[in-house]
A and B are shown apart, each in its own frame.
Chain A
């Protein structure tokens, strides 16, 4: 990502030059380079000391939150990479609940509510309403959206 962004050169989270971001991911795991960009952009923000209020998965991107995805052995699993990043930085990974349900992504609660055969929301992701996107977009310095 070097050279891709103009960013203040700081690694200190409390530095006045650090900004707060809300990331919206709208591209699915199969739109490979786009969904990888979203992940790498977020990794780089955190590496440079910026704050990410929330990552919001919408549209096709809700599929990234499935833990039923099995990738070929020599390919990376985006879901696991987001999980690792979230764990390392206490990132909030919000998944649009309406989109998730329509695409077959459910947590144990929804699984029980709709009498489905299994829950598959990957660890680290949460099902939330669109209001969480609206709230984060109001609080952040920068709203960045990736693909559709």
Chain B
């Protein structure tokens, strides 16, 4: 069973980013091969040391743990990256780019899809 998790929320606007990454780590621990798609404001979760906001856990710390859990299917939607005026080199993790037109192909590779 494989699950794609789409992350579309900014890192600190709500608890959503943290909660969706928590699910990702647990799915990985259960060997369900989760993949991550960063889309819309979700791309901001990949900015290293972007902000030191709120009393809550820094999202960058969770993101940097993905590798340890063997989560290496990280996708970023090209259009979202462009809309935010970001370059690939600015992101904290090595990711693969995917265009909006190709998203349905990505979705079809996975058994399940959770959208945050």
Given contacts A134-B26, A137-B1, A137-B112, contact A99 B19 (CB under 8 A): yes
Residue of B with least CB distance to A59: B19
Given contacts A59-B19, A148-B16, contact A138 B1 (CB under 8 A): yes
Chain A 127-140, CB within 8 Å of chain B: the 1/0 string?
A: 00111011101100
Residue of B with least CB distance to A58: B19
Q: Tell me whether chain A's interface is mostly helix, strand or loop, or mixed.
A: helix
Which residues of B lie under 8 Å from residue A130 when comparing CB positions? 22-23, 26
Q: Which of A101-146 contact B (CB under 8 A)?
A: 102, 129-131, 133-135, 137-138, 143, 145
Interface membership of B50, Cβ < 8 A = no
**How far, in whole Å, are A143 and B1 apart by their CA atoms in the complex?**
11
Which residues of A lie under 8 Å from residue B30 when comparing CB positions? 131, 134-135, 138
Q: How many residues of A contact B (CB 8 A)?
A: 17
**How far, in whole Å, are A128 and B15 apart by their CA atoms in the complex?**
19
Interface membership of B68, Cβ < 8 A = no
Interface membership of A24, Cβ < 8 A = yes
Which residues of A lie under 8 Å from residue B27 when comparing CB positions? 134, 137
Q: Is A138 in contact with B115, judged by CB distance below 8 angstroms?
A: no
Chain B 21-35, CB within 8 Å of chain A: the 1/0 string?
A: 011001101101000
Q: Is B26 in contact with A131, judged by CB distance below 8 angstroms?
A: yes
**How far, in whole Å, are A129 and B23 apart by their CA atoms in the complex?**
10
Interface membership of A80, Cβ < 8 A = no
Q: Which residues of B contact A (CB under 8 A)?
A: 1, 3, 15-16, 19, 22-23, 26-27, 29-30, 32, 112, 114-116
Extra 8 A-B pairs, beta carbons < 8 Å, given A98-B22, A137-B27, A137-B112: A24-B114, A59-B15, A59-B16, A130-B26, A133-B23, A137-B1, A138-B30, A143-B112
Q: Which residues of A contact B (CB under 8 A)?
A: 24, 58-59, 98-99, 102, 129-131, 133-135, 137-138, 143, 145, 148
Closest 10 CB pairs of A and B: A134-B30, A130-B26, A143-B112, A138-B1, A134-B26, A134-B27, A59-B19, A145-B114, A131-B26, A138-B32
